[in-house]
Structures are given as structure tokens and as C-alpha cells.
A and B are shown apart, each in its own frame.
Chain A
Amino acid sequence: MATITTWFTLGLLGELLGTAVLAYGYRLVPESTRRRYLLLVAIPGIAIVAYALLVLGVGTVQTESHTVYAVRYADWLLTTPINVLFLGLLANAAREDLVKLVGLQALTIVFGFAGAVTAAPLSYGLFGLGALAFAGVVYLLYGAVAEAAGRALGDLELSLYRTLRNFVVVLWLVYPVVWLLGLAGIGLMDVETSSLVISYLDVVTKVGFGLIAMYGLSTISSRSGPTATAHPADD
């Protein structure tokens, strides 16, 4: 029977491999987007540290009923705002919207962690607040930020924005489900299984997000160069 450390080790390997591939991709993307691209490399890079700590068994919080892996929440608190920040920058969103996106996403993680370390009725209340914050993020990504993208971006970039946004929203929705089904919620899933699912999700969201963005950016550079100029909204 595989132990929880096995899943953490596999997660660590996945993040390492993903970071290596994304770092190689730095040479493929156009010059003008390279600074922004570093955000994408940083996401699995931060996760490497988190998983290394998990493998070593560092950074856990023991509540009355179960163990909470606080390192994970620290990882998410850093990486998920970077994800939405990248989306906002790609869409040429207003500065105000960027701040809102990052702030709401950070709140989502903070409330999720608070819910995980507290006991039953309060924990669900905090979870609910986190869910509301994430709903705000989703609202912005489909509303104001998407409009900014439609105004500012060419066909290829707009397509990339939509794919990345849908990817993030759909896959991130699985995290709260794991929270609810796991020991923090109704306890249908034991800690090993939820660790397996979360490790897999982490690798897929962090590395997958980066790979899709890398492919998109490099394709744009090979087709027409970076087209940051405004195009008439043709859709």
C-alpha cells in the first residue's frame, strides 16, 4: 500500500519535470513576453519547495480531528494569485482589476486554510467565504478582464486567454470538492486519497497552465510576432 509520502514524492517529481520543461521554453517565447513568462516558471518552482517540505514531513498543523498540510496552503497563497495575475496581464486588464483578482484569489486560499484548521460549524462558514471570494475571481475573469482582452488582443491571443481561463476555473473547482469530501469536510475521503488527488491536480494545473501558455506564446511569435496592438473587436 502506497503511503502518503509516495504521493508527495510523485508530486515533487512532476513539479520538477514541469519546471524543467517550462524553463527550456523560456527560449521559445518572444522577447517581449519573457518577463511575464517567468511568472509561469515560478509557479511550479514554488511548488517544488512546497513538495520537498511535504516529503520531509515539515509544516503540518494538527487539529483535533485531522492533519492539515499548511505548506500546501502557503504554496497556493503564492502560486494561485500569480496564475490570475498572468491571466490579467495577458488580457491587458486595468490595474484596478489586476489588484482585485490577486486580492480575491489570496483571500480564497486564506479562508480555505482557516476553514481547514477550525472545527465544524465555523469551518463551513469560512469555507463559504472562500468560495465567495473565488466566485468573485471567476466573475472578473469572465466579465471585465475578458472584455479587456476582447478589446486589446488579436485572435490568437484571445484564444489563448480563453483556454487558460477555462482551464483554471474548471480545474480549480475540483479543489473545494476535495476539501468538502476530505477530512476537513465530511470525511468521505481519507488523507492519503485526498493527498493523491491534490498532488495530481497540483501538477496538472501548475504545469499544464504553463505548457498551454508556452505553446500559445511561441505560436503567436512564429505566426505574426507579438500583436499587442488593438484590433477591432471582430466577434
Chain B
Amino acid sequence: MVSPVPGAEDRLLVYMTDLEAKASEISSQRAGSRTLVVGTDGRFVFHHNTSRVGTVAPVSTLDGDPLGELEPGNSTFVETDSMVMGLSRLEGQDWVVMTHSKPSEAYALSRQINSDLVGLILLAVVNLGLVGVTIGGNTIASLRRLSAKAEAMADGDLEVELETARTDEFGTLYGAFDNMRTNLREQIAEAESAREEAEAAREEAEAARADVEQERNEMEALSSHLELKAQEYSDALDAAADGDLTARVDTESMSDAMAAVGEEINATLAALESTIANMQTFAANVLQSSDRVASNADRVDEASQQVASSIEEIFEGATEQNEGLDSAASEMENLSATAEEVASAAQQVADTSQSAADVGEDGREAAQAAIEEMGEIDDVTKETVAEINALDDDLDEIGEIVSVITSIVEQTNMLALNASIEAAHADGDGDGFAVVADEIKGLAEETKEAASDIEARIERIQAQAGDTVETMESTSQRISEGVDTVEEAVEALETIVEYTEEVDTGIQEIDHATAEQARTAQDVMGTIDDISEISQQTATEADVVAGAADDQEAAIGQVADAADELGQRAADLESLLERFRVDASGEVGANTATAETDD
């Protein structure tokens, strides 16, 4: 872009820009729309698609040629089916800036606003409806209802319901109506009660007049009635004076005083009648009772005699019992003593058996010791046999040695013989050899005799040793047999000890049992003593009772006499009371119980 610089004609301002970048920038300034620049000749100057720069824009082919008609600085608006365009021609250039977008996008805002407006209107309608229904509707309905109630009250119906849920002026108004109705009700009620009182007073006055007339009539009837009653009472009292106590007056009367007098008369007569009746009954009862007493006294007398004889028998029985008990006591004592003796004898037996057991034990121990000693002897004997055998062996060796010596002696003898032969050969000096040879010969024979003697002795010793060994072996065998015998004796002793212990235990038990028996006998004796005492007391008391029975018998005789006398007096009383006539049943008024006729 080149522009002349004002005031400096030889200068130009050159402004270079990247058309492609600029075109894209301009084109996408607003979302959903594109901005392009078109020359007045209808060719694109700026286009976001640079390949189309210089090509013919579709807008230039529209009817009316909007590009050509557009004056510099003016704007216009073109709408097609697919596109909405705003065109604006620049003043300094033959360029038209063109912004176009799709109709739906261009009108979205407008539709949004419309939609929101409708929504707001609906919300307002909702709120209006809410207020109208809750507040407005209530007000009208309340007023209508209240006026209906007021009309009903005006027509005289005071029972209409005056309630509302409202607490505002309507509530107050309802309250006021309610108060008014209450006051009206009270006043009407007062007026009605005043009228009723006046009517009641009139009725009372009329009733009083009727009462006065009735009283006058009654007084006249009463005076004639009183005369009649007085006569009636007088008759009844006359009959009573003649002894007839069953008569009564009629207490039915117009006068209360007269009726009271009649009742008093009746009460008096009834009291008198019941008293006399009681007395008659009483006298009869006394008579009957005294008869019974007399007969009872007889029976008691008889019984007393029987008691006395029974007591006598008891006394005798008790005495016998006492004697029996005495003998039982002495027998028990004997029994007790015997038991004690048995106990002591058993104790002795026990001691004896204990000592037998001890002795048996000692014997067993001694036998044990004997067995041990015999064992030892046996051992020693065996050792001795061994030694003797060893000695025998030694003697055999000595025998052999003696044999050797004997053979040496024989050789020596031979030498001596030889020497003597030599001596014989050597004449002259041969006498000396002959002497030596004789001496050697003599020595050898002595030695031979000695050896033979030793040999004989050894044989004798050996024979003796053999005898000794045999003897010892037989001794050893006998000792073994002795040990067996002693062991059997020990077993026998042990059995004896066991038996003895068993016997001891049995005796101990007998001892305990006997002691128990002795104690029991003692107790029985004590009991018998007690019983004996009791029977003595019984005898004594039987004696006392017998005395008392005698006394009782005498007292009962007196009672019988007194009963006879009482019977006589009761009979007298009965004859005295015959004069009065009373109701046979004796049933009289309850107010006659105060009888003052004690005799």
C-alpha cells in the first residue's frame, strides 16, 4: 500500500502487509460470519481463501448490482435465501467491505430475545395466578361467606358457624360477628327466663288459697273423731283392769296426739302382758329345771361313788406297779453288773490275744534270724568245702613231688650201688668208697622210707578230706532243709498272728457292745426310777381324789335338797300367776323387754 506524504511531495509512505494473514484475521472477526473485501469491479480483494482473490464475487452477479450502486461511505444490506450480507463502501478506495453470514445465525439473537420475553411473560402469568388464587380468591370467598352468615343471623339462625383460618382483618371481623351473636343469645335467654318466673309466681298464689279451705274441713272432722277415740281407749283399759291383757286399742287417728296416746296404751299393755307371760314361762322353767337338778344330783351321786371305787382300784394298781418296778430296777442292776463283768473279761481276753500276737511276732522274727544264720553257715560250709578241695589238689601235687623225690632216691641208691661196685673194683683205697656208698645207700633208704611215710600220710589226709567234704555237703543239705522247715514255721506263725489280730478285733467289738449294753441298762434303771416315782405320786393323788369324791358326794346331797325346795316355791308362784290371761304364744311387742320382775 502506497500513500503520498503530505508536505513532502517527493516522499511516499509504503505500507506493506501480509494479505493472506490479514484476510483471515478480518474474515474471522465474528463467530458464524465472514468478512471479505470486494472491489467495485466485482472481484475479491481480500478473501480468507487466497486462491479466490481476483476472482469474480457472486454478489456482483445479483439483480440490481448492489456493488455498482453503492456510493462511497454508504452501506447497504442484501439478503438471499442462503446468505445475509452487509455491504459498506470505503471512501478512499473502490473497495466494498462485505460481511455475510447464514440467516439462521444472523437471526439467533432475535429469536433468543423473543423466547426469553415469552418465558418472562409466562412466569409473570404464573405469579399472577399464584397471587390471585391464594390471596385474591380468598378475600372474595371470605367476604361472600361472611355476608351469607350475617344474613342467616339476621333471619334468626344464631347457630351458624363463624370460623376462619385467617388472622388478618377478616379474622377480626369474624371475631366481632361471633361476639355480637353471643351477646344476642344472652339477651334473648334473659328475656325468656323473666317471663317464666312471672308465671311461676301466679301459680303459687292459687295453690295457697286451696290449701286454706281444705284445712278448715279437716278440723271439723277431727273433733268428732277425737271423742270416738277416747271412748275406745277407755274400754280397752277397763278390760286390762279385769285381767285381760290381750286387748289393744286402734291407734289409727286423725290427731297425732291421740295416735301417740293410743300407741302408749298399747305399749303399756304389751309390756305388762309380756312381763306376766315371761314370769309364767320362768316359773314353769324353774319347776322343770329343779326337777332336772334333783335327778341330775342323784346321777352325780351315783357317779361319785363309782369314781371313788375306781380311784381305789387305781391306788391298788399303782402300788402293784411300784413294787414291780422295784424288782425290775434290781434286775436291771444285776444285768448291768453282769455286762460290766463280761466287758472286763473280754478286755482280759483281748489283752491275752494281743500278747499272743506279740509272742507270735517275736517267734517269727527269731525264726527269720535263724534262717539268716543258717544261710550264712551254709555259705561258710561251701567255702570250707572249696578250700578242702583246694587242699586235696595241693596234696596231690605234694604226692607227685614225693614221687619225684622217691625216683631221685632210687637213682641215688643206684649211684650208691655203682659206687660200691667201683669201690670193689678199686682195691686198696676202696674201703672209703664203700663206706660212703653205704652211707648214701642208708640215706637214700631213709629218704625213701620218709617219702613213703609222707605219701601214706598224704593219702590218709586226702581220705580224711574227702570224708570231711562229704560230711560238709550233707550238713549243707540238712541246713537247706532246716531253712525250709523254719520258713514253713514262719508262715505258720504269721497265720497265727493274723488270726490273733482278728480275734482281738472281735473281742474289741464285744467289749464296745458290752459297754453300750451296760450304759443302756443304766438308762433303763434311771427310767424305771422315774416311773416308780410317778406311780407313787399317782397312788398319793388317787388317795386325795378319793377324799375329794367323798366331799363331792356330800355336797351333791345338799344340792338335791335345795332343788327340791326350789321346785316347791316355783309351783307356788305358778299358781299365783294363774289369774292373768295372756296371749299363749308369749309373742309381745319389742318395746316390752324391760321386765322389772326379778324374784
**Distance in angstroms between the alpha carbons of A208 and B126 in the assembled complex:** 12
**Distance in angstroms between the alpha carbons of A5 and B8 in the assembled complex:** 65
Q: Is A163 on the interface with B (CB-CB < 8 A)?
A: yes
The answer to whether B115 touches A156 (Cβ under 8 A) is no
Task: Give residues of chain B (243-265) contacting chain A, Cβ–Cβ below 8 Å.
Answer: none
In angstroms, how far is the closest chain A Cβ from the Cβ of B313? 98
The answer to whether B163 touches A155 (Cβ under 8 A) is yes
The answer to whether B122 touches A159 (Cβ under 8 A) is no
Q: Is B116 on the interface with A (CB-CB < 8 A)?
A: yes
How many residues from B make CB contacts under 8 Å with A? Answer: 30
The answer to whether B115 touches A155 (Cβ under 8 A) is no
Q: Which residues of A contact B152 (CB under 8 A)?
A: 234
Q: Which residues of B contact A163 (CB under 8 A)?
A: 133-134, 137-138, 141
Q: Which residues of B contact A231 (CB under 8 A)?
A: 161
In angstroms, how far is the closest chain A Cβ from the Cβ of B394? 134
Q: A155-B161, A155-B164, A163-B133 given as contacts; is B126 within 8 A of A190 (CB)? A: no
Contact with A along B108-139 (1 / 0, CB 8 A): 00011011101100110110011011100110
Q: Is B30 on the interface with A (CB-CB < 8 A)?
A: no
The answer to whether B119 touches A194 (Cβ under 8 A) is yes
The answer to whether A197 touches B148 (Cβ under 8 A) is no
Q: Which residues of A contact B112 (CB under 8 A)?
A: 190
Q: Which residues of B contact A204 (CB under 8 A)?
A: 126, 130
Q: Is B160 on the interface with A (CB-CB < 8 A)?
A: yes
The answer to whether B126 touches A166 (Cβ under 8 A) is no
Q: Which residues of A contact B149 (CB under 8 A)?
A: 234
The answer to whether B133 touches A193 (Cβ under 8 A) is no
Interface size class of A (residues with CB under 8 A): 35 or more
Q: Is A167 on the interface with B (CB-CB < 8 A)?
A: yes
Looking at B119, B141, B145, B161, the one whose CB has the most chain A CB atoms below 10 A away is B119
In angstroms, how far is the closest chain A Cβ from the Cβ of B123? 6
**Distance in angstroms between the alpha carbons of A154 and B162 in the assembled complex:** 10
Interface of A: prevailing SS: helix
Q: Is B228 on the interface with A (CB-CB < 8 A)?
A: no
The answer to whether A235 touches B130 (Cβ under 8 A) is no
Q: Is B590 on the interface with A (CB-CB < 8 A)?
A: no
**Distance in angstroms between the alpha carbons of A197 and B137 in the assembled complex:** 24
The answer to whether B119 touches A189 (Cβ under 8 A) is yes
The answer to whether B165 touches A216 (Cβ under 8 A) is yes
The answer to whether A155 touches B122 (Cβ under 8 A) is no
Looking at B112, B125, B142, B163, the one whose CB has the most chain A CB atoms below 10 A away is B163
In angstroms, how far is the closest chain B Cβ from the Cβ of A163? 6
**Distance in angstroms between the alpha carbons of A192 and B165 in the assembled complex:** 40
Q: Which residues of A contact B116 (CB under 8 A)?
A: 193
The answer to whether B132 touches A190 (Cβ under 8 A) is no
Q: A166-B137, A194-B119 given as contacts; is B130 within 8 A of A171 (CB)? A: yes
**Distance in angstroms between the alpha carbons of A197 and B122 in the assembled complex:** 7
Select one of A166, A171, A193, A220 contacting B115, CB under 8 A: A193
**Distance in angstroms between the alpha carbons of A193 and B123 in the assembled complex:** 10
**Distance in angstroms between the alpha carbons of A235 and B145 in the assembled complex:** 7
In angstroms, how far is the closest chain B Cβ from the Cβ of A67? 15
The answer to whether B119 touches A171 (Cβ under 8 A) is no
Q: Which residues of A contact B145 (CB under 8 A)?
A: 155, 159, 235
Q: Is A120 on the interface with B (CB-CB < 8 A)?
A: no
Q: Which residues of A contact B122 (CB under 8 A)?
A: 174, 177-178, 181, 197
**Distance in angstroms between the alpha carbons of A22 and B283 in the assembled complex:** 104
The answer to whether B137 touches A154 (Cβ under 8 A) is no
**Distance in angstroms between the alpha carbons of A212 and B131 in the assembled complex:** 13
Q: Kindly report which residue of chain B lies nearest to residue A219, judged by CB atoms.
A: B165
**Distance in angstroms between the alpha carbons of A166 and B8 in the assembled complex:** 86
Q: Is A94 on the interface with B (CB-CB < 8 A)?
A: no
In angstroms, how far is the closest chain B Cβ from the Cβ of A234? 6
Q: Kindly report which residue of chain B lies nearest to residue A211, judged by CB atoms.
A: B134
Q: Is A201 on the interface with B (CB-CB < 8 A)?
A: yes
The answer to whether B165 touches A170 (Cβ under 8 A) is no
The answer to whether A208 touches B130 (Cβ under 8 A) is yes
The answer to whether B118 touches A156 (Cβ under 8 A) is no
Residues of A bordering B, CB below 8 Å? 154-156, 159-160, 162-163, 166-167, 170-171, 173-174, 177-178, 181, 188-190, 192-194, 196-197, 200-201, 204, 208, 212, 215-216, 219-220, 223-224, 231, 234-235
User: Please, could you name 22 A-B residue pairs with CB atoms under 8 Å apart, sorted by A?
Assistant: A154-B163, A156-B163, A162-B141, A163-B133, A163-B141, A167-B133, A167-B134, A171-B129, A171-B130, A188-B114, A188-B115, A190-B111, A193-B118, A193-B119, A196-B119, A200-B126, A204-B130, A208-B134, A212-B134, A231-B161, A234-B152, A234-B161
